Chain A
Amino acid sequence: MLTKLAGGRLYDPAHGINGEVRDLYLRDGQILAKAPFGETPGRTYDLAGKLVMAGAIDLHTHIGGGKVNIARTMLPEDQRALVRTRTALTRTGGGHAAPSTFAAGYRYAEMGYTTAFEPAVLPVNARQAHMEMADTPMLDTGGYAMLGSDELLLQLMSEGVGQEVINNYVAWSLHAAQCIGIKVVNPGGISAFKFNARSLDVDERHPHYPLTPRDIVRTLSRAVFELGVPHPLHVHASNLGIPGNHTATLATMDAAEGFPIHLTHIQFHTYGTEGDRHFSSAAGEIAQAVNARKNVSIDVGQVMFGQTVTVSGDTMRQYANHHHAHPRKWTCMDIECDAGCGVVPFRYRDQNFVNALQWAIGLELFLMVDDPWRVFLTTDHPNGAPFTSYPRLIRLLMDRGFRNDQLARINPEAAAMSCLGSLEREYSLYEIAIMTRAAPARILGLADRGHLGAGARADITVYHQLDDPEQTFARPMLVFKDGEVVVEDGAVTRVVGGGTQVVRPEFDPAIELRIGRWFDRYHSIRMANFRISDTEMADGIGSPVTVHPCRPRGVA
């Protein structure tokens, strides 16, 4: 059936369309290049005065994988505090900080999101992660395989094998774990924690392996680049949350030696040591560095006030912060020597100096990084705040008056130490469309979404244009998924499933001999059982795979 979206104002940064009134035609789940000649649409939506954007893409949100489930289990009160009652269409589910799969999928769709990526898929946990994401309705999903503290990589690097072997292992990991990118968390630090190190700076040697975090970042960012994987190495840098960690963040950027690198939740890595309390914003330095380095992209990991739970693979830093747990319970654990995990519930308070400054630092970063194609809107759900706070965050970016009102309410000492009040920038709808649609699609290599051009999947969100951007983005008028209306006026009207987005760089299968030996010697399962096949994804897990192209190997 031909569907016409008539007269909406389009925001399609991928094609430079900024608020032009145009008609869109959809058929068979795709956007058509132009109106088919002489054909009457089966269904026409009059969207005069409405905002039309591609479905939003969240490139960093912890919605699946082991630690989210640990958080859900550890915080039953979080599940009880917010319960979605069952409707004829949707299932019951709850949770504010660590929502159930159902609640997360419905709420994402109700905010106009159609694709979301779990950034920390331990290869050994990939099966569980994909199962959870398959259980998350309404969304296409994908994951980043976590390497960098896994014993095999560290062993290979310590042996001094060539880059080519590392590349093959990285590519094999993407295949085996059915992932779309590679993430590294506290490079080497999770492993170092198990050797009793409680900190590991960028140029500090790992207590067991003759390696530094800088070596790991350089090797992996090069591997990802040489394999032609579109998404740069996704880096959770060293020293998360430590005052003065901005130097480590800058060192991590430079460790990539010009290869593309994405620094995630950079707000947690932008802390200086100035002021009476030796805690200050380094957003100026970091933003300047990002502006100057075209190979660097970031997402912010904005803090929003309220109760949440921090879930991270960074055992070292989670352990260090466990005494801040609120409510007072936490866990840290090793996951099969692949990496680790720490879950620490936390409440960000606006009258707390540190929390208030964290909030301001995130916003400073948003406003001081010039290129919206290289800064992404995230709260590192649920670490900075649950993803449900995105509409409010968008308002903070778009409405300076509102931002300054909020600034006046936070801890005054923190407000005085922040330059936020002097930043006049207000994001435009076009820039919001860049950072929530066009840019994530581009940086992940998803040619089929994030834009409204010919051949794109008809994942489209239509918003009412209201004076308050928070209201606009909290309740879309319509959300289309693959050409079907799934949300009307902010409520799910049709439940759909999604697929898993992956990339498949080529590699030399001979690497399996080496990996297989390691599995036989050390691992709890065999390599053949470790790999997840396409058939298992489609039939067993229930989330069929869509393969996105890689660049040819070694070509920029």
Chain B
Amino acid sequence: MTALTLQLLAPPSPRIDLSAFTPDGLAGQSADEVRRLPLWVGNQQVETGDLFRVTGDDTDAILIRSDSDRLDGIGTGMTRGSIRVEGRAGAYLGRRQRGGAIAVTGDAGPFAGSGMSGGTIRIGGDAGDFLGAAIAGERRGMRGGRIEVLGNAGDRVGDHQRRGQILINGNAGDYCGSRMVAGTILVLGRTGINTGLAMRRGTLLLTAEPNLPPTFNDNGTQQLAFLALLTRDLATAGGPFEQLKSRGTRVRRWLGDLGYGGQGEVLVWG
């Protein structure tokens, strides 16, 4: 068994919806059958084989090779198995993902992990805006699972996040954790303006002093024993999130957003 591999032949100009290409969606299909699956390119319907070279047979481990940022919805709703993207992923990576693992070696577009409730997403490069956020019309962003970004993330990380963990090795953009209801966001780099705006509950764990709205209360520096537990939970073997525990349990703490109940906390390692 070798991974079912979709190698993009040429970068498409319209966006391509790949949401059907998950281990669940392709279960039991041969490479030949996958080649004949319909895909929309703009307003034209074509066969998958027209866009991708399809090889391999293991639909539980899908490999997508693409340098294009236009392949959207990779891993939508997947519950099991793995998808590995060698190259870049478009928008809505792991949208509504419920289980399984997605790994992208390069960058991912906006709304990665939006509405996800389980499983893991690992992005080797940068993530776009609205990482783990709600899409328009929805009232909940990420509801579970785990997202790791080795590079930077865009604006509105974890907007409306309800549960789950978002770990960012680099910087996060503006409005990080805005309208957050619960869950955890870790940023090892810097964050932009209005961090935590309209946050109800949830935890932002940072290493650099954030630019908070005036509706956050400074609680001073505290020794929080629970951080030992949290960092153990967040840590992953290998990579930048391995040594979180060594940062200790002493943090400066802000509570907010007071306009929205003020039970969210922003913790910053000194």
A residues at B contact (CB < 8 Å): 74-78, 80, 85-86, 327-329
Residues of chain B within 8 A (CB-CB) of A329 are 139
Shortest 5 CB-CB distances between A and B: which pairs? Answer: A76-B137, A77-B137, A76-B136, A86-B43, A327-B139
- Bitwise, B117-160 to A at CB < 8 A (1) or not (0) is 00000000000000000011111000000000000000000000
Told that A76-B135, A327-B139 touch, could you supply 12 new A-B pairs with CB distance under 8 A? A74-B137, A75-B137, A76-B136, A76-B137, A77-B137, A77-B138, A78-B137, A80-B137, A85-B40, A86-B43, A328-B139, A329-B139
Residues of chain A within 8 A (CB-CB) of B138 are 77
14 residue pairs of the A-B complex, CB under 8 angstroms, read A74-B137, A75-B137, A76-B135, A76-B136, A76-B137, A77-B137, A77-B138, A78-B137, A80-B137, A85-B40, A86-B43, A327-B139, A328-B139, A329-B139
Q: How far is the CA of A74 from the CA of B43 in the complex (A)?
A: 26
With both beta carbons as reference points, the residue of chain B lying nearest to A327 in the complex is identified as: B139
Q: How far is the CA of A77 from the CA of B137 in the complex (A)?
A: 6
Q: How far is the CA of A80 from the CA of B135 in the complex (A)?
A: 11
Q: How far is the CA of A74 from the CA of B137 in the complex (A)?
A: 7
Residues of chain B within 8 A (CB-CB) of A78 are 137
Residues of chain B within 8 A (CB-CB) of A327 are 139
The smallest C-beta distance from B207 to any residue of chain A, in angstroms, reads: 35
The smallest C-beta distance from B130 to any residue of chain A, in angstroms, reads: 14
Q: Which interface residue of B40, B136, B139 has the most chain A CB atoms within 10 A?
A: B136
Q: Which interface residue of B43, B135, B137, B138 has the most chain A CB atoms within 10 A?
A: B137
The smallest C-beta distance from A102 to any residue of chain B, in angstroms, reads: 14
Residues of chain B within 8 A (CB-CB) of A75 are 137
Residues of chain B within 8 A (CB-CB) of A85 are 40
The smallest C-beta distance from A98 to any residue of chain B, in angstroms, reads: 12
Counting chain B residues whose Cβ lies within 8 A of the other chain, the interface size class is under 10
Q: Which interface residue of A75, A77, A328 has the most chain B CB atoms within 10 A?
A: A77
Q: How far is the CA of A542 from the CA of B23 in the complex (A)?
A: 48
With both beta carbons as reference points, the residue of chain A lying nearest to B40 in the complex is identified as: A85
Residues of chain A within 8 A (CB-CB) of B137 are 74-78, 80
The smallest C-beta distance from A347 to any residue of chain B, in angstroms, reads: 14
With both beta carbons as reference points, the residue of chain A lying nearest to B44 in the complex is identified as: A86
Residues of chain B within 8 A (CB-CB) of A76 are 135-137
The smallest C-beta distance from B95 to any residue of chain A, in angstroms, reads: 11
The smallest C-beta distance from A312 to any residue of chain B, in angstroms, reads: 21
With both beta carbons as reference points, the residue of chain B lying nearest to A75 in the complex is identified as: B137
Residues of chain B within 8 A (CB-CB) of A80 are 137
Q: How far is the CA of A354 from the CA of B40 in the complex (A)?
A: 44
Q: How far is the CA of A327 from the CA of B135 in the complex (A)?
A: 14
Residues of chain A within 8 A (CB-CB) of B43 are 86
Q: How far is the CA of A75 from the CA of B137 in the complex (A)?
A: 6
- Bitwise, B8-44 to A at CB < 8 A (1) or not (0) is 0000000000000000000000000000000010010
Q: How far is the CA of A87 from the CA of B135 in the complex (A)?
A: 27
With both beta carbons as reference points, the residue of chain A lying nearest to B136 in the complex is identified as: A76
The smallest C-beta distance from A44 to any residue of chain B, in angstroms, reads: 36
Q: How far is the CA of A71 from the CA of B157 in the complex (A)?
A: 27
Residues of chain A within 8 A (CB-CB) of B135 are 76
The smallest C-beta distance from A70 to any residue of chain B, in angstroms, reads: 13
The smallest C-beta distance from B103 to any residue of chain A, in angstroms, reads: 27
With both beta carbons as reference points, the residue of chain B lying nearest to A79 in the complex is identified as: B137
The smallest C-beta distance from B137 to any residue of chain A, in angstroms, reads: 3
The smallest C-beta distance from B15 to any residue of chain A, in angstroms, reads: 14
The smallest C-beta distance from A389 to any residue of chain B, in angstroms, reads: 23
The smallest C-beta distance from B42 to any residue of chain A, in angstroms, reads: 10
With both beta carbons as reference points, the residue of chain B lying nearest to A78 in the complex is identified as: B137
Residues of chain A within 8 A (CB-CB) of B136 are 76
Residues of chain B within 8 A (CB-CB) of A328 are 139
Residues of chain A within 8 A (CB-CB) of B139 are 327-329
The smallest C-beta distance from B7 to any residue of chain A, in angstroms, reads: 27
Q: How far is the CA of A78 from the CA of B43 in the complex (A)?
A: 22
The smallest C-beta distance from B238 to any residue of chain A, in angstroms, reads: 38
The smallest C-beta distance from B46 to any residue of chain A, in angstroms, reads: 14
Q: How far is the CA of A20 from the CA of B40 in the complex (A)?
A: 49
Residues of chain B within 8 A (CB-CB) of A77 are 137-138
With both beta carbons as reference points, the residue of chain B lying nearest to A76 in the complex is identified as: B137
Residues of chain B within 8 A (CB-CB) of A74 are 137
Q: How far is the CA of A78 from the CA of B40 in the complex (A)?
A: 21
Residues of chain A within 8 A (CB-CB) of B40 are 85
With both beta carbons as reference points, the residue of chain A lying nearest to B135 in the complex is identified as: A76
The smallest C-beta distance from B91 to any residue of chain A, in angstroms, reads: 14
With both beta carbons as reference points, the residue of chain B lying nearest to A80 in the complex is identified as: B137
With both beta carbons as reference points, the residue of chain B lying nearest to A86 in the complex is identified as: B43
Q: How far is the CA of A75 from the CA of B43 in the complex (A)?
A: 24
With both beta carbons as reference points, the residue of chain A lying nearest to B140 in the complex is identified as: A327
With both beta carbons as reference points, the residue of chain A lying nearest to B43 in the complex is identified as: A86
The smallest C-beta distance from A362 to any residue of chain B, in angstroms, reads: 29
The smallest C-beta distance from A38 to any residue of chain B, in angstroms, reads: 49
Q: How far is the CA of A76 from the CA of B115 in the complex (A)?
A: 15
Q: How far is the CA of A363 from the CA of B137 in the complex (A)?
A: 33
Q: How far is the CA of A327 from the CA of B138 in the complex (A)?
A: 9
With both beta carbons as reference points, the residue of chain A lying nearest to B138 in the complex is identified as: A77
The smallest C-beta distance from A323 to any residue of chain B, in angstroms, reads: 15
With both beta carbons as reference points, the residue of chain B lying nearest to A91 in the complex is identified as: B43
Q: How far is the CA of A327 from the CA of B139 in the complex (A)?
A: 8
The smallest C-beta distance from A283 to any residue of chain B, in angstroms, reads: 36
Q: How far is the CA of A371 from the CA of B32 in the complex (A)?
A: 62
Q: How far is the CA of A467 from the CA of B139 in the complex (A)?
A: 43
Q: How far is the CA of A348 from the CA of B20 in the complex (A)?
A: 31
The smallest C-beta distance from B92 to any residue of chain A, in angstroms, reads: 11
The smallest C-beta distance from B134 to any residue of chain A, in angstroms, reads: 10
With both beta carbons as reference points, the residue of chain B lying nearest to A329 in the complex is identified as: B139
